[in-house]
Structure 1
């Protein structure tokens, strides 16, 4: 979240030069940023103090105009939609769509991410949640005691592809329902994990002692696998319910799996995460950055505070030799990391911490 009274700068990944900035008004708080690769623009989602921070406002600004510092060339998005809480907007980069929800009107709407044209709407008639996968949307309706109604729609035109009822154990809460292509993943409290093929109706069950409810998922579309996160540990599963990989040295920093601190490479062969560090176990605030192979679980590289090969720019008269009055030691740079990104083209890792500093790790 970016608060008021500051300027937001953008840095070119190619030149590392500042290409422009957005001046935030004292009234504005940016909730999220989204880079739209379809039209090379930056979308900001903001709330405002004058509205008691209750309504989302979206704006798109072409990156070319950010470079020229012509920020007024941008324009607002979805002005016709009431995005007052608990309304929301979700950007789907995989399908090139935008999903909005107006709680006031009780309607979901889908827009084209390329040109923001309205495509179709979905009435909120007891829809509890919507899950988006490549090519399809799963609508999860309010459950009955013995089943949950589910509907699968085409993401392109909203046409119904299938409607069915998934049977449930009475009086047991649903831990999660997830959708991955034609696979439906369902888990109820203290019950077996179920993998249902919605096209063939084939059902696979995994014993509750083998698969316990994770706190988060990441689906690996290229490999037809999925990652689970539970109690700081990561595991890889296939859709037959088999455990594929356990990681030997990848204990995550956060209990609740903050995906801001996790990066999966585009080939989906490596996972890079902010982890607990054995090297500085006595210091509860400094972690490490671990890189592991997804298919083998082996840790192949690690950035730690006591690595003698690492060095920060030396200070000169209390400052770094670089043009900045802000400097960090390696342990300070690894303290309370809140965001992590890996530039695969430049082989550089970017981390941000709770002090608002961004660090670049490069060899």
Structure 2
């Protein structure tokens, strides 16, 4: 090979090598390639001399030039651009190179929901009914930026996915998925909760005679049971499902009780009456030889006059809700006095017990 040919060969080789070196660029695309609903993102590439972005819809075969998209970055949004393929054509030192295509995708979430657990009843229209001491637990399907509402007002510091519900109201929640903390989703429908008034559905016991009991508000219930605390053993004992409880032979089983009613109302709520003790309102003699109980109503003291000596006589004073307030021993001879000056005005049950039997007396302090 002559000198001229060798020179031309070397010149062509160097020129080819230089052009190859100048076009040795590989543009790539990065940035927000996974978008949250209702959000925007930015795609970007490295620094070159010029740029032209292209978009190929997910189901299309060819990419389309995006008019005016000639910066190193491109703003995209969930509504218009997800899903689609994006690429960028760049130039540098007279080289023009097209990048690979990159998929812009987005998150899709199921609608939020609330799971309800706990001890409660469900009404005819799907409302949650809380009976007496019932509690409902709401568990929201989302766990980020959670806010619970009651009657369309935010509940202070109710920002966990779990909510303990003890009050009436219309409840709903809003929150976001962990992947998209700014995408706030709402439950959409409120969950109605009705807290039953414990006093409105509590059975009330009264008595016809000393040994005949009845439920004064029985029309509020669909089922009821009579119980007592057994005289021996102190255990709760089932007696009857009759509307009127007639003690008769049950007297030896339960004596002065106390007696209770367990009832179920129309909403399925179970409630118990307060303790009831058989009582007399006068000098009626039952088991114990009481000649007179006076005065009644009382102010500070109640006096007991006996028709005969009472051996082993003691007393217990209960509130009208069955709470034991005071106990003591009595002489059982002729007459005794019990001091009630420290108690508020109201109704009380005085239970007297001796070796001959027991009796309950209703007292009124005024």
Q: What is the TM-score when the length of structure 2 is the normalising length? A: 0.20
Larger Rg: 2
Which structure has more relative contact order (CA 8 Å, sep 6+)? It is: 2
Higher helix share: 2
